[in-house]
Amino acid sequence: MTLSHTDQPWPTTGISFGGDYNPEQWDPSVWREDVALMRQAGVNMVSLGIFSWGLLETAEGVYDWAWFDEIVELLGENGIAIDLATPTAAPPSWLLAEHPEFPPVDHDMTQHWPGARLGWCPSNPDFRTHALRIVRAVAERYGSREHVVMWHVSNELGGGNGHCYCDVSAAAFRTWLEKKYGTVEKLNEAWGTAFWGHYYRSFKHILPPRGNDSKNPSLMLDFDRFSSDELLDHYLAERALLKEITPDLPVTTNFMVGAEPDAVDYARWAPHMDILANDHYTRSPDPVPQQDVAFSGDRMRSLTTDRRPWLLMEHSTSAVNWQPRNRAKNPGELIRDAISHVAHGSDGVMYFQWRASRAGAEQFHSGMVPHAGPDTKIFREVTALGGHLQRLAPVLGSRVPAAKVGILFDNEAGWAIRRGVKPNNFLPYGAAVRAWHAAFWRRGDGVDVLPPWNDYAGYDTLVVPQLFLVADDTAKRAEEFVAMGGTLIVTPFSGIVDENDQVRLGGYPGAFRDVLGVWTEEFYPLQEGETFRLDNGWNGREWTEHVHVAGADVIARYEGGPLDGEPAVTVRAHLGGGRAVYVSAGIDGDAIENLVAGLIEPDRGPVSDKIPGLEVGIRETDSDEFVFLINHGADDAELGIRGAELLTGRTVEDSLVVPAGDVRVVHRRKAA
């Protein structure tokens, strides 16, 4: 698949700054204070109307536009652009009362109740009709307003209705399968339905993977693919209507790209977005939340082949409300997180939400204006950030340069690991990918986290962490990458099954066995708390396997235990300087760092000083460079650099101090 991207101008003239704005929760007298504070903070865009359907359409085809007209007007008068939402994420109560069949049904056949959001089955054609009615009404009324600059379709599609197992979905699943396989024989072959004699005589006999008992993994994987496609189809239906009414306005929807396999397959959705948008929230406890910010940006940017800027559509000024214990951000963290996202390629900083809610399910979620009002740490930092972003205007449209290290990430592989029973059911996909990303991030190496079908040319190193499911084409291109002189690193439980989720025979990891010059006879998963040790001092947990070398050299062997003396980490040298490294054991983070240090020269990066805790990022145009210096450490960092520091407006002659916890951005011209 080739990822293309429409050539779309950015919706705001500077870096976008603002957040979800839900004025319907407040008296109109508060709206005047809102816009005054927005101007004070430098807000230039808000996402409006995301959850307003129930207040805009009071009965079928009956609309109350007056309040929305007023707020649209008020924002326009104050020079604030609108990222206008189609409000389909939250259907009105009257609609759900009339259609009790709309809410999604879980795998155990319990139906969701109204009262939350995304409470609708994506395959239901009647729901689609109602949704498109409100989309049309909103688009026809407001789409031509000059300060409506972008469409925000629904909200986090899949976050609540990622899978629906109802009868309507079951019928749609059968249609999807028929289209994919053509004949039921082909499906039987792909799913291996001879097992337990589940052979299907007709598409009519197929059901979604309902219930709690063990199901065919190939069926479950196709159901995950189908579910993502159904939601994409909903997005595309809204998009087509919006394009019919306002052909020139960019259309997006907010992704939830983090380190776990996503609800839907974002890499396959990306070509349908005019501007890619992401919602990212740090979690606690997270040993390195800053790395999670970097990881999500490194993934977002690599969803397009031209690495164009994306938009941080939501994150939080301080605590979220959906964790068991919700940590408030420390002073300075709001600005550091926000500018880290910009360093990783976002051309905007948007929050959930403008004003912290007084009522409703999210009343204890932070906002840009907290419950205590504007005379607060949060609002002061929001205002300071607004000033910083204005000073960063020259960064708009610049790109993060291509990295030398690529890490493959695929939702299908993550889904296939998560569903069904495995030799060790405690191998979270996201944690494995993040562990490898962390090793490079700590050294200051630029990393792209890319879908397996992207081009590998230009990378020196390609990491394949726990990519359980691998297509033949990916395996072939990984071989070509090594033949061209690249370093390939494959980690445990990669290349095990094909695209149908059937095991590749002849020894694991089937897809990479030849290029790695090894074959694994048997897995030896460990028990909780059990560890292993290798003869070079590395330790690890969760996973070991009995590897045979067939052309590879051994880097480290097991010491003790049932695999004593057997190979654990190997490298196969290829003609032309290429290397294929197999890390067959679940080695700890410091062992990963050690291995990386022994194999790969660190990225020289844009500055010569490597200071612990100082993250250095770069964005560039043909003529200019913007060096982002983000000090996550507790001490001030001093480094040698020259250029114009954008946030303080000072010229840096030879050295710059980045205060502890703070950020600086140095603009310099590239040598001609």
Q: Considering beta carbons, is residue 316 or 340 the nearer one to ligand GAL?
A: 316
Contacting ligand GAL within 359-378 (CB under 6 A): 362, 365
281-300 footprint of ligand GAL as x/- string (CB under 6 A): x-------------------
DSSP codes joined into one string, 22-51: -GGGS-HHHHHHHHHHHHHHT--EEEE-TT
Tally of CB atoms within 10 A around 260: 16
CB of 156 to ligand GAL, least distance (A): 4
Residue 156 as a binder of ligand GAL (CB under 6 A): the answer is yes
Stretch that binds ligand GAL, among 153-161, 210-218, 300-308, 506-514 (CB under 6 A): 153-161
Is the separation of the CB atoms in 665 and 627 below 8 Å? yes
Q: Considering beta carbons, is residue 156 or 265 the nearer one to ligand GAL?
A: 156
Question: Would strands 405-408 and 461-464 be described as parallel, antiparallel, or unpaired?
Answer: parallel
CB of 367 to ligand GAL, least distance (A): 10
Among residues 617, 619, 664, 666, which one has the least CA distance to residue 637?
664
CB of 365 to ligand GAL, least distance (A): 5
Residue 165 as a binder of ligand GAL (CB under 6 A): the answer is no
SS3 sequence of 360-405: CCCCCCCCCECCCCCCCHHHHHHHHHHHHHHHCHHHCCCECCCCCE
Q: What are phi and psi of 655, to 5 degrees?
A: -145, 155
Chain position whose Cβ is nearest to ligand GAL: 352
Is the separation of the CB atoms in 566 and 534 below 8 Å? no
Residue 314 as a binder of ligand GAL (CB under 6 A): the answer is yes
Residue 279 as a binder of ligand GAL (CB under 6 A): the answer is yes
Question: Would strands 310-314 and 405-408 be described as parallel, antiparallel, or unpaired?
Answer: unpaired
487-506 footprint of ligand GAL as x/- string (CB under 6 A): --------------------
How far is C-alpha 514 from the geometric centre of its chain's CA atoms?
32
SS3 561: coil
Stretch that binds ligand GAL, among 151-159, 257-265, 302-310, 470-478 (CB under 6 A): 151-159
Residue 24 as a binder of ligand GAL (CB under 6 A): the answer is no
109-128 footprint of ligand GAL as x/- string (CB under 6 A): --------------------
Stretch that binds ligand GAL, among 155-163, 288-296, 474-482, 560-568 (CB under 6 A): 155-163
- One-letter amino acid identity for 152? H
Q: Considering beta carbons, is residue 86 or 520 the nearer one to ligand GAL?
A: 86
Of 238, 314, 479, 615, which one is the catalytic site residue? 314
Is the separation of the CB atoms in 671 and 629 below 8 Å? no
Of 57, 156, 381, 566, which one is the catalytic site residue? 156
334-353 footprint of ligand GAL as x/- string (CB under 6 A): ------------------x-
Is the separation of the CB atoms in 397 and 621 below 8 Å? yes
Instruction: Name the token pair of 326.
Output: 């919700």
Q: Considering beta carbons, is residue 316 or 584 the nearer one to ligand GAL?
A: 316
Q: Considering beta carbons, is residue 34 or 314 the nearer one to ligand GAL?
A: 314
Please say if 156 is a catalytic residue: yes
Is the separation of the CB atoms in 248 and 224 below 8 Å? no
Among residues 326, 320, 301, 327, which one has the least CA distance to residue 312?
301
- Please give the size of the binding site for ligand GAL, defined by CB under 6 A: 10
CA-derived radius of gyration, the chain: 26
User: Judged by CB under 6 A, which of 221, 267, 320, 427 binds ligand GAL?
Assistant: 320
How far, in Å, CA of 189 to CA of 186, rounded? 5
Residue 266 as a binder of ligand GAL (CB under 6 A): the answer is no
DSSP codes joined into one string, 191-214: HTTTGGG---SSGGG-----SSS-
Q: Considering beta carbons, is residue 55 or 599 the nearer one to ligand GAL?
A: 55
Q: Considering beta carbons, is residue 352 or 628 the nearer one to ligand GAL?
A: 352
Stretch that binds ligand GAL, among 154-162, 377-385, 431-439, 471-479 (CB under 6 A): 154-162
Residue 382 as a binder of ligand GAL (CB under 6 A): the answer is no
Question: Would strands 57-59 and 567-573 be described as parallel, antiparallel, or unpaired?
Answer: unpaired
Please say if 314 is a catalytic residue: yes
Residue 155 as a binder of ligand GAL (CB under 6 A): the answer is yes
How far, in Å, CA of 282 to CA of 327, rounded? 10
For residue 647, give the H/E element and its range: none
Is the separation of the CB atoms in 205 and 237 below 8 Å? no
CB of 201 to ligand GAL, least distance (A): 43
- What residues act catalytically? 156, 314
In the complex, the residues that contact ligand GAL under the rule CB under 6 A are 155-156, 159, 279, 281, 314, 320, 352, 362, 365
